[in-house]
Amino acid sequence: MSNATLGNRMKDLRGEAGLTQADLAAAVSVSRKTINTVENGVFTPSALLALKIAEALGKPVETVFWIKR
Amino acid sequence: MDAVERISGRMRWLLIAQAIGFFCWQAGDGLAHSDQIAALVANPAELISLIGAVLWLISMLAFFAQAHKAQRDGLHDILNDEWAQHVRGRAAETAFWALCIGVVGSMTATNFGLDAQMLLKINVGVAVSSFFLAYVWHDSRHEGEA
């Protein structure tokens, strides 16, 4: 069984883009709680949500998310 | 503590109250109306059942009021959010196992003459309450720096 988890740079990239969690949540049509859980590494988002977040941050998805082993 | 954590914390306490209330309602009702239970236990069980039903009803209404407020403010959406769907799925899984174990245990107990109606009520209470408590357990994992 794999122990791989999803790493992310959402907080740094969100800061660079000048977005709050609420701004990002509104941009990808989810609530702040979902953004909070993804950002803190608690929740692995769906591929669709990951792509939407990357798009909202203006970065390729592999810059925002990666596999942590 | 930011707004998301504050409202999530309140909603989790209301879910715990719902779990206690629902279990007391169902288990108390099961005990109160069983012929196998002495009046010494059945009478307090009736009262506990009533208190449980009132607690569950009030906490459920308060929970949905908080959920509406959270959705309106864009903090949390208990129906449509990916996180909420994830937590709900895990909680349902826990409730399913609690129900399975409860049914197997109850079927065994009825073979020894225990009142099936009473056991059914207790099982329903355990299954629903385990859903609420598992929801609280999984949801509390979101805590972290905003």
Question: Which three-class secondary structure string do you get for B92-141?
Answer: HHHHHHHHHHHHHHHHHHHHCCCCHHHHHHHHHHHHHHHHHHHHHHHHHH
Q: Where are the domains of chain A?
A: 19-58
The pTM of this model reads 0.84
Q: Where are the domains of chain B?
A: 3-142
Residue A49 — pLDDT band, cuts 50, 70, 90? very high
Does residue A64 or residue B38 have the better pLDDT?
A64
In chain B, pLDDT over 70 holds for what percent of residues?
96
Q: Do B81 and A46 touch (CB under 8 A)?
A: no
Q: Do B74 and A36 touch (CB under 8 A)?
A: no
ipTM of this model?
0.74
Reply yes or no on whether the pLDDT at B145 is more than 50: no
**Residue written as token pair 């990357």:** A54
Average pLDDT over residues B108-118: 90
**Residue written as token pair 């629902």:** B22
Who among B81, B86, B145 is closest to A31 (CB)?
B81
**Residue A27 near residue A17 (C-beta atoms within 8 A):** no
Reply yes or no on whether the pLDDT at B146 is more than 70: no
* Residue pLDDT, tens place only, A1-13: 567 888 999 999 9
The first and second tokens of residue B1, run together, are 């503590």
